[in-house]
Amino acid sequence: MTFRCFKFFLLIVFLTIIASLPGCNDNSSKNSLSGAAAGNETSKKIKTVPVEVISPKKGTAASHYVTTSTLAPSSDARINSRTAGVVRKILHEEGDDVKAGQVLLLLEDDDQRLRLKQAKIKLSSAETEYNRLNKMQKAGVVSQNDWDLTRNNYLNAKAELELAELVLSYTRIAAPFDGRVVWRGVDLGAYVSKGDLLFRMMSIHPLLIRVYVPAARTAKLRAGQKVALNVETVEAPLQGIIKLVSPIVDPSTGSVKVTIRLDQYPVAVRPGDFVEINMVTDRRENALLLPGVAILEERGQHFVFTVQSNQAIRRNVNPGYVVGEWTEVISGLKAEDIVVSKGQRYLNDGNHLKVINRSEMNSDLQPGVESKLANNKDKKRSERVKP
């Protein structure tokens, strides 16, 4: 009896297992069908790429030439002694501002004064003899040879006096122009020979900057044009003016010398300071400008993505001058176009877009695009409140 029960139990278990197999297959089929349907539904959804857009703006596009140089004086003179002597008095030191003709140094002049005195006596004697013979010559009682000799002696004595006065003046070392004493090379009591270097002077109002610009970029440079300057020793930027543009090109470098004048500057600015020069070599008004990041490059071709009917449209453009973060677009774009400014690196031509920065767009947007942005924003709000 027990064995029969056991066989009956095994039969029931076997039938139960067989009965459960069709049910599993049905569930798996249902799950597979459900997954396929979900996949088809997902594939039907259009994939959108979130981007930010911007309208081109109109402004001034300029080409800048930036270089460095040093500040130089408008005049730089080395003052040498024109006679020999001992330094008697030093009237000005390094750093003094002086006027043209102002005496800087005195040499001992005793010898020169004595020579001047002799020249005056000689001239007085020659002049007396000249006047006496002049009366006799008019009366016709003097020979022509005596008259010529007396007249020549008088003229020579007069020249010797002028020469003695000139040599005496060499003992007074004077400033050749308005400027500043920047170096002194002698001390009080020192003996100097003819030709020894005594002082160095510079005219520092104005200061000059000489730069060499490629000839191809000088066509629109003009005298009087303003130039931005940054000097190492001061924080605030300074402004210079182009004084002259050389009429010739240096054939060895292909450059043109441009001289810039700096009229007003702080006292901390001195000759020899390093200066950065930023000059505008060309300017275009009412140019179309885009942020530089909006313009992409591939194999030497520049392009942007514009928005049309919520789709990305690739357009090739020709960029021009760079103005800070903005780049001029010479061709390939219109003022009313809407350009992708963020997210464009992941786009392909024809991608569907979702614009996310409507609040930052202004009235330059086309009405159609603006309404699409509004719809996107309203849809985003509805998705947030959806349970």
344 vs 255, which has greater pLDDT?
A: 255
376 phi and psi, to 5 degrees? -60, -40
* CATH fold for domain 49-61+286-385: 2.40.420
45 vs 124, which has greater pLDDT?
A: 124
- The whole-number pLDDT of residue 357 equals 77
Of 49-63, 234-248, 253-267, 350-364, the one with minimum mean pLDDT is 350-364
From the options 3.60.20.10, 3.40.50.300, 1.10.10.10, 1.10.287.470, give the CATH code of 109-170: 1.10.287.470
CB-based contacts of 158: which residues, under 8 Å, 6+ apart?
A: 123, 126
Confidence check: pLDDT of 178 > 50:
yes
The model's pTM is 0.66
Q: Under CATH, domain 65-70+204-284 is a member of which superfamily?
A: Efflux pump adaptor protein, beta barrel domain (2.40.30.170)
Q: What is the mean pLDDT of residues 188-212?
A: 96
Confidence check: pLDDT of 363 > 90:
no
105 vs 19, which has greater pLDDT?
A: 105
- The whole-number pLDDT of residue 383 equals 41
**Per-residue confidence band for 248, with pLDDT thresholds at 50, 70 and 90:** very high
Q: What is the mean pLDDT of residues 83-87?
A: 96
373 vs 265, which has greater pLDDT?
A: 265
- Specify whether the CB–CB gap between 183 and 272 falls below 8 A: no
Taking residue 114's Cβ as centre, other Cβ atoms within 10 Å add up to 12
- Specify whether the CB–CB gap between 63 and 330 falls below 8 A: no
- The whole-number pLDDT of residue 2 equals 53
Q: Could you state, in order of their start, the residue ranges of all structural domains in the chain?
A: 49-61+286-385, 65-70+204-284, 83-107+174-195, 109-170
SS3 250: strand
Round to whole Å and give the CA distance between 373 and 49. 14
Question: Residue 352's beta-bridge partner residues?
Answer: 48, 311
The single-letter DSSP state of residue 46 is: P
Architecture of domain 83-107+174-195: Beta Barrel (2.40)
- The whole-number pLDDT of residue 358 equals 53
